[in-house]
Amino acid sequence: MSTFTHTHMHTRKFAALFLFLLTLTLCCLPQALAAQKPLLTFDEFFNSISYPSFELSPDGRAAVIEVERSDWEQNIYRHDLWLYRDDGKGGGSLTQLTQSGHDSDPQWSPDGRWIAFLSEREAPAGAKDTDSEDKKKHRGGETSQLHLIAVDGGEAFAVTANDEDVHAFAWTPDSRSLYFATRIPWTHAQKTAYKKEWKDVEQYRASERGDEIFRITVEEAIAQHRKQGTQPAPDDEDAAPAGTPGAQSLARSPLQVSEMVCSPDSRKLAFASNSISSRDELVEEFEIYTLDLTKAGSVQEPRRITRNQSPEHTLRWASDNRHVFFENGIGSVEGKYVDTQPRLYWVNVESGATQRWAADFTGSVDHYTPVASGVLIAARLGTEVQVYALTSPGAKAQPVAGWRGTYDGLRTTTGSSRILFHHSSLQQPAEIYLADSAEKLAQARPLTAFNKLFTERELPQGKPYRWTSDDGTAVEGMLIYPPGKFEAKNLPMLTLIHGGPADANGNHFEADWYEWQALAATRGWLVFQPNYRGSTGYGDKFLMQIVPEIVSRPGKDILTGVDALVKDGIADPNRLAISGYSYGGYMTNWLITQTTRFKAAMTGAGAVEHVANWGNDDTTFDDAYFLDGLPWEAAQRYHDEAAIFQIQKVRTPTHMVGGGDDIRVAVLENYLLDHALHVLGIPSTLLIFPGEGHSLTKNPWHGKIKVREELKWLEKYAGSAAANP
C-alpha cells in the first residue's frame, strides 16, 4: 500500500468520524438545549393560569377571556376578564377589562358594544346604601349578580339587585335587552315572616323554590345605575317590590334555570332546567323548555320540549330558528337511563323530535360550536382530542387538520369565519388561540401567554401505553416520564387514577391540585395514568363495561397495567405508589384492599361503601345505574363492590383528604376510611379542608397543601424518586 493511499484512507476515516460526531452532536443538540432549562419548581407549578370561559366578538375581531389565578394573599382564586382586540395587521393587544377578582361567564352583546357577565363583587365605593339588612348580608361576594361593561371604556355596573344568585342570562338579538333567571324573589315581609316561624331551622327541600325569568332593557339598566345612591329608601320596606327595579317578569319555573339562549329571530327563549336543591336526584328534573317571546303581558307557563333520561347542557340555537343544539354527559336521550360517552344532539322546538349528530363517531364529543356549514366538534379518540367537521346529523365526522394534543371550548360567530379555542399538549401549556378559519386551524395564533413560564422549564415527556387486561380486552393509558428520562427503564412509578369515571387521560397539560402528574414526574416519578373500563374515548361498549362492577372491573384493568409495566422493565416493582381523587379515590380505596404491592397510597374524596354514599351523593341516579339497582334492589352488589368490607386486607400506608362541605362524595366516607385504618393500625393521616365542596375551588392554599403533603407521603413511604439513578 503506497504512502499516498494509506494517508488518503486515514483522511477519509477522519472525515467519516468527523461527520459521525457532527451528526451525533446535532441530533443530541435539542436534548442538550432542553436539559439546560431549569426544572419546574413547586411554587411555579401552582401559579398556573387557567381560562374557565372565553367568547369571540360578533365580528370575530375581539375576544373576552376569563382568567383564573391564585391570589395567595387573599386566599382566593381570582376571576378577572381580559379583552383582546385585533389590530388588523396580523396582531393585537390583550388588556385587563375587570379587576374585582369575582367576574365570570362573559357574553358579548350581538352588536359588540357591551359585555355582560356574572360577578360577586361588592357594591361600588361611595354609593349610598339603601338596602335592607337582609340584602346587605348577601352582598360582598355572597351572591352572583348580572353586570354590564362597555367595550369602549367605562366602569362595570350591576344590572340586577337581588338577594338571590343570577343562575343564567342571555342577550336579545337586537342587543337592547337581557333575560336573566333567579330564584323566585321574596319581599322583606315574606322573609321576615319565614324567619319568625322557622328561626334557624332548615326545611330540607320544603324551603326550596323555583326560578323566575325576567327581562330588563339596557336602557332601563343604565337608568337604574345612574339613580344609584340618589334615591331614598322606601318608607314601607315591607311593601317594597322584590327583585331588580325595572325588570319585567316573563315566566316562573318550578325548577332552577341552569342556562338560557334566545333564538336568532327573537321569537323564542330556550332554557335548561336543574334541580332546585342543586342535587342531581331525579333525571326528569333536567329538561329543555321554551318561552314564546311574542306573547306580551301575563307571566307564561314554560313549554317543555324534551322528555328523556339525560341532563341536557350547552344549549345553542341553530340558524334555522327551529332547532336547539345540546350536549349530554350522562344518561340516555334515546330511552332508558344508560350512561354513554358525551354526545351531541339537536331538538326541534315545535315537534320535540331529537336527532343525534356524529352518531358514527367512536369516541366522545366533548365540545361543539355551530358554523354556517353545520357544526365543529372537539372529540376524543384515545389520548387525543381533535377537531372534526359535520355538515348534517347523519354526516360522517371529517377530521380538521391541526396540532396534536387537546382542543376544547370551540367558539365561533355568525359574523366571521374565525375560531377561538383552548389548546394544550403535554409539553405545551394551555393558552387561548384564534384561527382565521377551520381550514387554517394549524396556523392559529396565541392570544394569551400567561403560562409562558412553563415553556421555559424542562417539562416531562409522555406517550400512550397499551396492554391487555385479564379478560383479553385492550386497554390504554399515559406514561409521563421524569424530565431527561424519557423511555428509561426500572423507574419508581406513581399510578395516578382519573376521576369520573367517564373521563380520560391524554395528551394535554394541566397544573393544579387534581392534575399534578407533571409535578410528580419532575420529582422523579414515572406517572402511569390508566384509562380503565369506564373511560371515554374508546367507544360506548368499553365505557359501559364498568356496570355493574363499579370498582372490581376497572381495578383489574389497572392492576394488569401495573403488571405489564413491571414485566416490560419500565416500572420498578419495589417502588410503586398509587393515588386518585373522586372516582380515582374510589379506585385507590378499592385497590389497596386487593394488593399489597403499593408502598404508599394517597386518596381523596373517594367512597369506601355505596349505601350511605348513595344517600348523601348529589348525583344518585348514576350511582344506582353503575351498581345495577337501588340499595334495596342490589344489596349484595353494594356489599361486594365496597372497599370497607375488605378493609382488613390493607397494609398500605394511606394519606386521605376531603372537602369539609363535600356532598358529591360525602366527607363522612373519609372519616369512615380513617377510622377503619386507625383501628387496624395502618399508618394513615386525614386532612379536611374547611368550606370546600367536592372540588377544592375556594382557597388555593388547600390544593397546594394537599399536593405538598401527598409528595411528602410518597417520599416517606416509597422513598425519594429523585434519588433514583
473: closest CA among 569, 556, 395, 584? Answer: 556
Q: Whats the size of the chain, residue-wise?
A: 725
Helix 552-567, helix 583-591: angle, nearest 10: 70
Dist. CA 292–CA 671, nearest whole Å = 51
Provide the pLDDT for residue 206: 84
Cell reading at 481: 416520564
Cα 315 to its chain centre, rounded Å, is 17
The b-or-e profile of 80-116 (16+ CB within 10 A means b, else e) is: bbbbbebeeeeebebeebbebbbbbbbbbbbebebbb
DSSP letters spanning 139-157: TTTTS-EEEEEETTS---E
Nearest 5 degrees, angle CA 45-CA 425-CA 395?
Answer: 145
d(CA 59, CA 314): 22
Would you state the pLDDT for residue 162? Answer: 83
| Nearest C-alpha neighbor of 477 from the set 412, 571, 337, 549 | 571
Q: 460: which DSSP letter? A: P
Task: Say which DSSP state 522 is in.
Answer: H
First to last CA, the chain: 50
Radius of gyration, alpha carbons of the chain: 28
Q: What's the confidence (pLDDT) of residue 235?
A: 46
The answer to whether the CB of 376 falls within 8 A of the CB of 358 is no
The whole-number pLDDT of residue 623 equals: 86
DSSP 576-596: EEEEEETHHHHHHHHHTTT-S
Instruction: State the Cα–Cα distance between residues 572 and 587, nearest whole angstrom.
Output: 21
- Per-residue buried b or exposed e for 328-341, using 16+ beta carbons within 10 Å of the residue's own CB: bbbbbbeeeeebbb
Amino acid 6: pLDDT: 38
- CA-CA-CA-CA torsion for 553, 555, 556, 562, nearest 10 degrees? 150
Regions of the chain short of the pLDDT cut 50: 1-34, 125-141, 230-236, 239-240, 724-725
CA dist 325 and 328 (Å) reads 10
- As beta bridge partners, residue 491 has 571
Quote the pLDDT of residue 5: 35
What is the model's pLDDT at position 135?
Answer: 38
C-alpha cell at 242: 322584590
Say which residues have a Cβ less than 8 Å from residue 136's Cβ, sequence separation at least 6.
Answer: 129
How far apart, in whole angstroms, are the C-alpha atoms of residue 589 and residue 586? 5
DSSP summary character for residue 49? -
Q: Which of 686, 688, 714 is nearest to 702 (CA)?
A: 688
For the entire predicted model, the pTM comes to: 0.91
- Helix (H), strand (E) counts: the chain: 15, 36
CA distances from 278 to 258, 286, 605 (A): 10, 11, 19
How far, in Å, CA of 377 to CA of 342, rounded? 12
